[in-house]
Amino acid sequence: MSKVAWIGLGIMGYPMAGHLATLRQHEVAVFNRTRAKADAWVARFGGRAAATPAEAAEGADFVLACVGNDDDVRAVTLGPGGAFHALKPGAVFVDHTTASAKIARELHEAAKQRGAGFLDAPVSGGQSGAESGTLTVMVGGEEGDFERAQPVITAYSRAVNLIGPSGAGQLTKMVNQICIAGLIEGLAEALHFAKRAGLDVPKVIDTISKGAAQSWQMDNRWRTMVEGTFDFGFAVDWVRKDFAIAFEEAKDNGAELPVTALVDQFYAEVQAMGGNRWDTSSLIARLGRNSSKPPVILRRPRGRRRTPRNARRLLRGAREGRPPQDDGGAGA
């Protein structure tokens, strides 16, 4: 039986750690900044609650974390009482946080100096995937560390793939979020259009979901989007945090992200509506708020017609890798 430490019991980490405990194949110690949540987890699943990440990691074969951002990852690893201060030689640290490739590479080197391994392993599948144990995990790091940690990770995932060296997992998660940005906005606009056109939306979806328009978002979110229900876990604040990471990386590698930049601005509008904690499908909420006005249709400029100033600014920022500025609303 291996010894496992888990750091971070949020909406993702709580059920993910729970799957490990349920297997009865690991001794599990948990740490959470709010001690009450750690105590509640222990009361439900067993194991023990630790006072610091270092205490949780003491003697552990595998230390896994799922926290908020780069600063949080650095705090629970290298900060006072951080897990790396107790990381034993041969242990593997697995970071499930969606963070930057830069912090992944930094911690990979720090772990190597301690004779331990480090994997950056962000996940996709949201709260429902964490609860059902069907997450997709994209991993960066060394093959030996991956092979050792993979059986542990499979406790809460259906797909675990080593993409490349340290940082590759985080870069792949950026690709994932860029894909999702356009998909959700496209679905939101399609549903909005169908409603405005007076179509039977269930019949429309039943038909087009059998063709090229089909997607996971369509299959799982169209009905709740039409109903205006946006409580499926992955919040707008968090997706904007992920976009900011992608924009920063794009600045370094020269990638152009014009659609992602526009969708990020649309999420800023959702935040201004009070939707910071709504899930990512809430993009539809900003459409048709004034139904007395005809829908706005953007056309390619002809002749001397000029692109609207705001659109020019957003596209220019995207080409330069800069995230758009908020027009109100709290940042992620």
User: Does 216 score more than 80 pLDDT?
Assistant: yes
- Residue 5's H or E segment, with its range, is strand 2-7
For the chain, give the percent of residues with pLDDT over 70.
87
User: Does 102 score more than 90 pLDDT?
Assistant: yes
User: Is there a single domain that holds both residue 156 and residue 250?
Assistant: no
270 CB neighbour count, 10 Å cutoff: 22
User: Does 209 score more than 50 pLDDT?
Assistant: yes
Non-local CB neighbours of 109 within 8 Å, separated by 6+ positions = none
Is 191 a member of any domain? Answer: yes
Average per-residue pLDDT for the chain: 89
User: Does 92 score more than 80 pLDDT?
Assistant: yes
User: Does 122 score more than 90 pLDDT?
Assistant: yes
- From 165, 182, 198, the end of a domain falls on 165
Mean pLDDT of 176-182: 95
Output the DSSP codes for 62-118. Answer: EEEE--SSHHHHHHHHTSTT-GGGTPPTT-EEEE-S---HHHHHHHHHHHHHTT-EE
Here the CATH number for the domain that contains residue 105 is 3.40.50.720
Q: How many CA atoms lie within 13 A of 178 on its CB side?
A: 20
Pairing of strands 135-140, 123-124: antiparallel
> Domain limits at 41?
2-165
Confidence of residue 116 (pLDDT cuts 50, 70, 90): very high
- From 115, 142, 165, the end of a domain falls on 165
pLDDT, residue 135, reads 98
User: Does 273 score more than 80 pLDDT?
Assistant: yes
Confidence of residue 232 (pLDDT cuts 50, 70, 90): confident
Here the CATH number for the domain that contains residue 180 is 1.10.1040.10
Is 330 a member of any domain? Answer: no
User: Does 304 score more than 70 pLDDT?
Assistant: no
Confidence of residue 290 (pLDDT cuts 50, 70, 90): low
Confidence of residue 25 (pLDDT cuts 50, 70, 90): confident
Please tell me the total count of domains within the chain: 2
User: Does 32 score more than 80 pLDDT?
Assistant: yes
Q: Can you give the pTM of this predicted structure? A: 0.84
Nearest to 259 by CA among 305, 301, 303, 298: 298
The least confident of 18-22, 30-34, 222-226, 322-326 is 322-326
User: Is there a single domain that holds both residue 134 and residue 179?
Assistant: no
User: Is there a single domain that holds both residue 195 and residue 87?
Assistant: no
Confidence of residue 316 (pLDDT cuts 50, 70, 90): low
DSSP state of 166: T
User: Is there a single domain that holds both residue 248 and residue 132?
Assistant: no
Q: Give the C-alpha separation, 89 to 263, whole Å.
A: 44
User: Is there a single domain that holds both residue 194 and residue 94?
Assistant: no
Catalytic, 173? Answer yes
Output the DSSP codes for 220-240. Answer: HHHHHHHHT---SS-BHHHHH
Which of the residues 37, 88, 173, 203 is marked catalytic? 173
Is 72 a member of any domain? Answer: yes
Q: Give the C-alpha separation, 258 to 18, whole Å.
A: 39
Give, in degrees to the nearest 5, the angle at Cα 104 between 319 and 238. Answer: 60
